[in-house]
Structure 1
Amino acid sequence: MTPLPGGAGVVGLDHVVLGARELERGRRDLADAGFSPSGGGVHVGKGTANELVRLSTGYLEILTVVDPSEALAYGGSRKQVVDFLEAVPSGLLGYALEVADIAETREALAGRGVSTSGPHSMTRIQPDGRRIGWRTALIDDRQWLTPHPFLIQWDDVDRWGASTDRHPNGVTRVSSVTVASADLAASREVYTALGADVVDSGQHEMTLTLADLTIRVQHPRGHARASVGLLSVSFAVEDPADGEFLPGRLVDWLGSGQRAD
């Protein structure tokens, strides 16, 4: 786990989060789209639970609410999930970057004028009873429906056990994300503080790279989807000739539904 040079201790993309009212349906949708789910668990004291898909780099997470009262009592990001899934049955919530040391990253970002909250401690109980722990920091104190990633540092290195990172659809990793931001200049400051390089910039959109991830930031004007936040996700596959459209429900979640890279 080596941070990128010249950044704020960022290692790379950690995961993309999709919200779903019905976790079991989410599992079926993943399997129908050619993924091999890895299992998940319950977030202790937060009122939420998940299902994960391990990739060769990073992973996908389906997040659901299992105890609305507990999630609302916890507030913050958990309340945002409750509100989101009351409004829509499923959709993209956000994404995370892994960092080597969350305290050092927060300090580095503060030096660049980027505000963060945290660290927020989290625990998940796996189906086999193991407890997995991590800490997060939220840029501008918002985890979901924001143009910026949240940050995560894992307390446990081996959290996957025997789960596979190989899938019938050939997907190996997330290759790009597209987000909508009402303030492109502010988003540029956030992403460059995280260590991203600007490769193209215009009046209404810009493209950045961070490790092997391409980040497209667009003004929400003209988008039928949510005004700000994660709009779509693209994947890399082992053999581009074997890439397929992600079918049905998962296309709705992932936004554009474009062919894997």
Structure 2
Amino acid sequence: MARVALRTSDIQKTASHFTSQGLIVNGPVRMHRRRPDGSLVKWQLLYVGHEEEGPELPFFIQWDEGDEDRRQDLIRNKSIRNHPAGGSMQLNHVGIAVNDLEKASRNWSQWLNVAVNETYIDDSLHAICRELKVPGGSIIFYEPRGENVISNVVAAVGEGPFRVVISGGDVEQVHTISGAVYSIRK
């Protein structure tokens, strides 16, 4: 997992916001693809960068159709369907491995214009953590305490996303795909 995507409904305003923050902005870039059924899907992407040390910022996407129309279309073409883990699942959080929790959470909070929660300890991962609430879920930064799975991620691939947690499943599952951990929780 290399980068997180966040949805926006006004990509021009999003680009202006990051430009005013002094960040490097590339886009928006118009894109499209034709589905096997012949329908055309259109969207715009915006890439945001910074010269600070730390994880890459998310990229931003704006679909050319409204949320509800897109959702109904995805249900119709079976891109959204019931998962074998059951339940009413939704994104809980994306975990991002970082070397400097204070700096990463402070920068992202400022750049994304979101509040940051208090620092806490995750004993199971041996990490100091801090959560940023974003629409549709959370981003949690994990700074390793000693040598552990998070320090191994940072050493192997650098700072960035390493974990996705989905909540609301009927069955708890954990899958590792390309080094990233995907967890389904009840």
TM-score normalised according to structure 1 size: 0.53
Match of 2:177 in 1: 252
Matched with 1:166 is 82
Shift in Å at residue 237 of structure 1?
Answer: 1.4
1:206/1:178 CA distance change after superposition, 3 Å: same
Whether contact under 8 Å (1:232, 1:254) holds in the other structure is no
TM-aligned CA deviation for residue 109 of structure 1 = 2.1
Partners of 1:140 and 1:147 lie apart in 2 by 7
- 2: distance between equivalents of 1:244 and 1:207? 22
CA distance in 2, matches of 1:182, 1:121: 34
Q: Note the alpha carbon deviations across 1:32-85, whole angstroms, 9 max, x for none.
A: xxxxxxxxxxxxxxxxxxxxxxxxxxxxxxxxxxxxxxxxxxxxxxxxxxxxxx
Give the counterpart letter for 1:243 in structure 2.
Answer: V
How far is 1:232 from its partner? 0.5
Corresponding position of 1:100: 9
Q: Distance in 1 between matches of 2:29 and 2:117?
A: 33
What amino acid maps onto 1:245 in structure 2? Answer: Q
Assess if the C-alpha contact under 8 Å between 1:114 and 1:190 holds in 2: no
> 1:181·1:187 contact (CA, 8 Å) conserved in 2?
no
1:126 aligns with 2:35: yes
Note the C-alpha offset of 1:173.
1.7
Does 2:157 correspond to 1:229? no
Amino acid at match of 1:160: L
CA contact (8 A) 1:122 1:134 kept: yes
Q: 1:104 to 1:215 in 2, by over 3 A?
A: same
* TM-score, reference length from structure 2: 0.71
Q: Unpaired runs of 5+ in structure 1?
A: 1-91
3-state SS of paired residue (1:178): strand
When the two structures are aligned, how many residues end up with a matched partner? 161
Q: Deviations over 1:97-120 (max 9, x none)?
A: 111111101111222333321112
The 3 A distance-change label for structure 1 pair 116 and 101 is same
Q: Relative to structure 1, is the Cα distance of residues 147 and 188 closer, same or farther in structure 2, using a 3 angstrom cutoff?
A: farther
Shift of 1:147: 4.0
Structure 2's unaligned 5+ residue stretches are 121-126
The residue aligned with 1:148 is 57
Question: Closer, same or farther in 2 for the Cα pair 1:147/1:182, shift >3 Å?
Answer: farther
Quick check: 1:200 aligned with 2:114? no
Q: Secondary structure at the match of 1:224?
A: helix
**Residue in structure 1 matched with residue 123 of structure 2 by the alignment:** none
Which amino acid is the alignment partner of residue 106 of structure 1? A
- For residues 221-240 of structure 1, the C-alpha deviation after alignment (integer angstroms, 9 at most, x for no partner) is 742122211110000115xx
1:204 CA displacement: 5.7
RMSD: 2.9
Contact 1:175 1:214 survives alignment (8 Å): yes
Q: Could you report, residue by residue, the CA deviation over 1:199-239 in whole angstroms, capped at 9, with x for unpaired residues?
A: 1237964222123412111347742122211110000115x
Aligned partners of 1:217, 1:128: CA distance in 2, in Å? 40
d(CA) in 2 for partners of 1:235 and 1:197? 22
Identity rate, percent? 24
